[in-house]
Amino acid sequence: MKQTAAVSAATLTLAGGAFALAPSASAVGTSACTDGQSFINFPFRGHLNTGSVNLRTSPSTKSSSKGLLARKTSVDILCWKGKVPTSWDYVKVASGTHKGTYGWVYDKYVDWK
């Protein structure tokens, strides 16, 4: 994503135009997806296979919860951290009470479509 922005900026500069770069909507949500994690080039949909799943502020059971997610809640998976079976998914909630909220969910509670 950084390369795309750099190429676009260089193209606009060469054309003599003024420009301003703002992060895309997907870039804002992926700020938690940093080096050392597996990246996904685009979000893809999953859903929770059980209920009362904590949406966490970081990939740890010791981190605070942003709320509980219900069974079958849809989530857009942006990246993950760790190795199966102990990995965490960084998601944007796509349905339900916490729709639009970003956070971490323990992977074993997410079925990937």
| CATH number, domain containing residue 55 | 2.30.30.170
d(CA 14, CA 59): 43
- 7-28 pLDDT per residue, tens: 333 333 334 444 333 333 344 4
pLDDT at 56 over 80: yes
Q: What is the pLDDT of residue 112?
A: 80
**Structural domain boundaries enclosing 52:** 33-112
Output the pTM of the full model: 0.69
Cross-strand pairs, 69: 53
d(CA 28, CA 102): 10
Q: Which residue has the tokens 């729709």?
A: 99
Query: Is 4 part of a structural domain of the chain?
Result: no
Number of domains in the chain: 1
d(CA 24, CA 11): 18
Q: Any idea what DSSP says for residue 6?
A: H
